[in-house]
Amino acid sequence: MKTLDLAVIGSGIGGTLISSLNKEKDLILFERDSNLGGCASTFKRYGNLYNAGATTFVGYEKNHPVKDIFDKAGFIPDIKKSEIAIRVLQNNKVLDRVKDFETFLENLNKVYPHKNNRIFWEKIKEVDEKFWELKKLHYAKYSLDSYKKTASSVLELFSVFGFDLIKNANNYINETLINISKEYKEFIDAQLLITLQTKAEGISLLSLCIGLAYPFHDVFYSNGGMGAIFDGLLEDINVHKNEEIKKIIKEQNSYKILSNKNEYSSKNIILNSSIYNSSILFEDENIKKYYDKFSFSNQSAFVIYLTLDSKDVKKDFLHHYQIILKNEIPNSISNSFFVSFSSKDDNKLSQNGYSVTISTHTKALFWKDLNNQEYKEQKKITEDFIINHFLENFETIKKEDIIKKFSATSKTFKRYINRYNCGGRAITLKNILQTPSCNTPFKGLYNIGDTVFAGQGWPGIAIGVQTLNKELNAKC
């Protein structure tokens, strides 16, 4: 049997990016689904296309890891810049998150007036800009060389940020935005839930800045759906769709891979599966124990998919909105939801009307543990609640304009992308040293994606991919 250089399991952002950087190797990327991209894929149902998550494409700009990886892969995506990254709607107030700082600050002072707004947000922008200028960013373990690079990265972080690196985010908010209103604080936390999967409590000032500053970067819309980016990046890669990996057996200098279709051998394995779900793939007890030590991140998404009749809905929409409510959404851990609209001129995604994806945060195991009747009832309660508030905030859209609607929970994601949780455990001051790195104690076995360093979204995963690529090619 021929032995591959590299087997990548899972075509999410991490698996796709690392594959695109190593296309010269003898490589196979395995994807159990028919669509590429995992949580960020585009799928077809009822003859309509939908983005699996209400996600943004961020970081495609000079001196940013996302753009750097795309350039090295030789791929230029079909995207267009969103002049307004997100429109936030809260209690009949409107705040546009735009890249230009002075325009944003002017709008902010109308919606959330505070004498220290400029001080607070200039700090957010300044720290974020310094972070993306770092040259030695690296986090890996289990070898002397990896620890040296990680130590060098930590020293650079402390030299640039000092105590901002460990300062508590909530303390900074309360010290700077003195007597901050409940409404303003809920806005900040709702923004952080999008980017970091957590609220301000427990995170560092550095994390706060990175999480809040992303609309100060270029934010893009992907023509044809987010899945078009994955199709383009993987055009020259040997991709095996609809092939699920069932078992990985560690051998002396390689790994035997058993799928639902065939048997393979590879020197190196990269798992783009959730780190919490990787143990079941192995028979080796030491590998199983390694993965079992990571506690499950019980956070997922509740997602609603709509097709709107674009003929009757006269108004065009921005690409992204965030709706912040007074009360928490039923069966959710949030009082906000994120809405993505397809562009009216997108001849693929909007072929049969606007394609709309609405998502909020929820507990993964809540849905898993319900019986069938309870599941249907609770799903309908959450779906109806969100759609009613969606219609209240978009007066030009009527209930009868909704041509198709359906929703997804953690059980749905398990069925299609083989994971209950969406997003990893947020990196906080308490768990930073326990955060999984891209490499493992086992030669030739690696992980990538949103459950290892550096976390969620295109920018966070791209940092992890750059680290993994250095680790991988130092050993290949």
Kindly report, residue by residue over 348-373, the tens digit of the pLDDT: 999 999 999 999 999 999 998 899 99
pTM for this structure?
Answer: 0.95
Query: What is the fold, at CATH topology level, of the domain defined by 3-44+53-78+223-295+432-475?
Result: FAD/NAD(P)-binding domain (3.50.50)
Distance (Å, whole) CA 198 – CA 423: 10
At residue 115, the pLDDT reads 98
> pLDDT band at 6, cuts 50/70/90?
very high
Give the C-alpha separation, 67 to 138, whole Å: 18
Q: Which residues of 158-192 are buried (b: 16+ CB within 10 A; e: fewer)?
A: eeebeebbebbbbebbeebbeebeeebbbbbbbbb
- Burial class of residue 47 (count of CB atoms within 10 Å of its CB; 0-12, 13-18, 19+): exposed
- What are the extents of the domains in the chain? 3-44+53-78+223-295+432-475, 81-90+99-220, 297-417
Statement: residue 385 has pLDDT above 90: yes
Quick: pLDDT tens for 394-443: 988 999 999 999 999 999 998 888 888 876 666 665 666 678 999 999 99
Whether the per-residue pLDDT at 129 is higher than 70: the answer is yes
* Chain segment 63-115, per-residue pLDDT in tens: 899 999 999 999 999 999 999 999 999 999 999 999 999 999 999 999 999 99
316: pLDDT confidence band, cut at 50, 70 and 90? Answer: confident
The percent of residues above 90 in pLDDT, for the chain, comes to 82
For residue 385, the tally of other CB atoms under 10 A from its CB is 18
27 or 54: which leads in pLDDT: 27
What confidence category does residue 476 fall into, taking pLDDT thresholds of 50, 70 and 90?
very low
pLDDT in tens, 188-240: 999 999 888 889 988 889 999 999 999 999 999 999 999 999 999 999 999 99
Query: What is the pLDDT, as a whole number, of residue 427?
Result: 63
- The amino acid sitting at 240 is H
- For residue 277, pLDDT over 90 is answered with no
Q: Which residues contact 180 (CB under 8 A, 6 or more apart)?
A: 114, 173, 174
For residues 55-69, give the mean pLDDT.
93
